[in-house]
Amino acid sequence: MTGAHAHRDSTRRVAIVTGAGGAIGRAVALRFAASGADVVVADIDEAGGRETVGQIEGVGARGLFVRTDVSAPDEVDALLRSTVETFGRLDYACNNAGFDGPIAALLDVSPSDFDRVMAVNARGTFLCMRAEIAQMLKNGGGAIVNIASVAGLLGMPKLSAYSAAKHAVNGLTKTAALEYAKRGIRINSICPGGIDTPMLAKLERYKSASDGSTAASMAAVHPVGRIGRPDEIAATVLFLCSPDAAFISGANLPVDGAYTAI
């Protein structure tokens, strides 16, 4: 656990971002920091997580890194304890930690591979929401944004486990939004299309090797003619956590350059 341990300030808002050592999570964490929030960075990647905290502090905000495997209940509980012990509250959470698993047809996916993808994406989101909601109820409310995928809205060949897990994230989002709507907690998910991240680069390499396609074809499948940027996902997270989105809850929002509109 590293980062700022300044005196608590009840006027400041506090956000948790899981998977914040990577591209989208880091962009989200920095957006929260730029908005004036204290940010708790959770990741299994200690080097990446600490680098994100350094960037948060570089923009004048307070950051805290907590190494967290989101599929482990004890580690998620420790994340929330560290958040409250350091900053005193929790207002926002972005559950972004994810794992794509094997790129293979269903018959070539082992049960252990399937279980690991579900553990990080679906179980991890469930465990984080469970802990975050419990704390937000003590505060009197909050906002949660889960990072799903267009694979959680559509079938995605060669990504059966990932697609199943992201469909589960969207289902958890809708159900929890209904359960806590009257208690001051809004819960939404974002379903990104192709975003400029290492995960997309892995998929592009697989496609190129298997069918001779190029990275340009990944952009071409999006009607806007390009892939998205992590900061565009981050901007959407901040909007959904803002008062401007006060009447939005239970949404599974595509941010995909019209990919799912086809």
pLDDT digits (tens, 9 = 90+) for 184-195: 999 999 999 999
Instruction: Write down the pLDDT at residue 210.
Output: 59
pLDDT digits (tens, 9 = 90+) for 145-165: 999 999 999 999 999 999 999
pLDDT digits (tens, 9 = 90+) for 93-112: 999 999 999 999 999 999 99
Show which residues are catalytic.
162
Domain residue spans in the chain? 10-193+230-249, 197-227
Q: What is the pTM of this model?
A: 0.93
CATH T-level topology, domain 10-193+230-249: Rossmann fold (3.40.50)
For the chain, give the percent of residues with pLDDT over 90: 85
Per-block mean pLDDT, blocks of 10 residues, the chain (262 long): 53 94 97 98 98 97 98 98 98 96 95 98 98 97 98 95 98 98 98 86 60 66 94 98 98 97 90
pLDDT digits (tens, 9 = 90+) for 219-228: 888 999 999 9
Three-class SS of the chain: CEECCCCCCCCCCEEEEECCCCHHHHHHHHHHHHCCCEEEEEECCHHHHHHHHHHHHHCCCCEEEEECCCCCHHHHHHHHHHHHHHHCCCCEEEECCCCCCCCECHHHCCHHHHHHHHHHHHHHHHHHHHHHHHHHHHHCCEEEEEECCHHHCCCCCCEHHHHHHHHHHHHHHHHHHHHHHHHCEEEEEEEECCECCHHHHHHHHHHHHHHCCCHHHHHHCCCCCCCECHHHHHHHHHHHHCHHHCCCCCCEEEECCCHHHC
